[in-house]
Amino acid sequence: MKNASIRGIMLAITGPLLWGISGTIAQFLFDDVHISSRWLVSVRMLISGILLVLYGLVGDHRQEMGVWHHKKDSLSLIFFSFIGMAASQYTYFMAIEAGNAATATILQFLSPAMIIIYLALWNRRFPRRIDVFSVIMALSGTVLLVTHGQLTTLTMPLGGFLWGVGAAVSSTLYALLPRKLLKEYGSIPIVGWSMLIGGTAFSLYYRIWDHMPAFSWTTYGSVSFVVIFGTMFAYLFYLQSLRYIQPTTASVLGSFEPLSATMLSIIFLGVSFGVPETMGAVLILGTVAVQAWAAYTTM
């Protein structure tokens, strides 16, 4: 049991670490290589979707194809592919392109607070005090992050802020929409098919073959890392961790994503964080720990 928990913790850390690293590499591709975020999102989802679907077919063909045997679930999957999967990928990379990987990843972590607000409205029930505290933490952290403590001044690009909030909204939809599908068919088929559907649609609409960047070995390596390690393996590791540890524990360890993105952006990309921005990041990420603690104490 102890070894299984350690395995789950390591998997839950590795997945978000790879997400954070891929976000920083994506910023390098946008700023230095001038690859379009639309092109990278299309290629990332398409190739990762193909690999994940093949992985599922090899592992359990019936489970992988099960969702397509029910019309209502198939339509739900297609809807999630665009509104959840593709939207979360697109807004996140646009936030990186318009701002930087560190702030984009941190703003994306406003999602837990948005989920709290949504569930309170949906259930028509005032949230718990600890939930209200979490929302206040998240909003206060956002203000500090984007204003540098000067409430009348926006110290980050407006586009980066808006896309970052959009990434949080789409991440909220990503978390809420597929709950029934995940319970019924498992994570690998749903994530794989939604990536493949979203990636195919994006690729055809954007016509990625007409926007091929000038490739070098560095570009090949960077794009390959984002697609294979930062997407396919990152999802597989994180989803596999849920077999060994509780989702609340995994959600706290998910904070390694903005941590790694922030540290790498500071070290390699010259992104600077002052005291107000650091305090804001701590407040936003702290909401995950607060919610995990609340879940643990009520078990």
CA of 42: how far to CAs of 114, 135, 270, in Å? 27, 33, 27
Choose the weakest-confidence range: 177-181, 182-186, 266-270. Answer: 266-270
Classify burial at 275, counting beta carbons within 10 Å of its beta carbon; exposed 0-12, middle 13-18, buried 19 or more.
Answer: exposed
Phi-psi region of 150 (alpha: psi -120 to 50; beta: other; left: phi over 0): beta
Q: Rounded distance, CA 140 to CA 136, Å? A: 6
Classify burial at 176, counting beta carbons within 10 Å of its beta carbon; exposed 0-12, middle 13-18, buried 19 or more.
Answer: middle
Q: Kindly report the backbone phi and psi dihedral angles of residue 148, in degrees, each rounded to the nearest multiple of 5, phi listed first.
A: 60, 30
Residues 6+ apart with CB under 8 A from 233: 15, 18
User: CA angle, corner 173, sides to 169 and 177, nearest 5?
Assistant: 175
First and final CA of the chain: distance in angstroms?
Answer: 19
The string of DSSP codes covering 135-167 is HHHHHHHHHHHHHTT-TT---S-HHHHHHHHHH
Burial 200-232, CB ≥16 within 10 A → b, else e: bbbbeebebeeeeeeeeeebeebbebbbbbbbb
Q: Where are the chain's structural domains?
A: 2-109+158-269
Q: Rounded distance, CA 143 to CA 10, Å? A: 33
CB of 41 within 8 A of CB of 209?
A: no
Identify the CA nearest to 80 among candidates 181, 169, 156: 181
Q: Average pLDDT for residues 262-269, to the nearest whole number? A: 83
CB of 237 within 8 A of CB of 52?
A: no
CB of 281 within 8 A of CB of 262?
A: yes
- Higher local confidence (pLDDT), 1 or 64: 64
Q: Average pLDDT for residues 239-257, to the nearest whole number? A: 75
The pLDDT tens digits of the residues spanning 64-122 come to 999 999 999 999 999 999 999 999 999 999 999 998 888 898 898 888 888 888 888 88
Q: Rounded distance, CA 255 to CA 154, Å? A: 25
Which pTM was predicted? 0.87
The pLDDT tens digits of the residues spanning 187-236 come to 889 999 999 999 999 999 989 988 888 888 889 999 999 999 998 898 88
- How many other CB atoms are there within 10 angstroms of residue 299's CB atom? 6
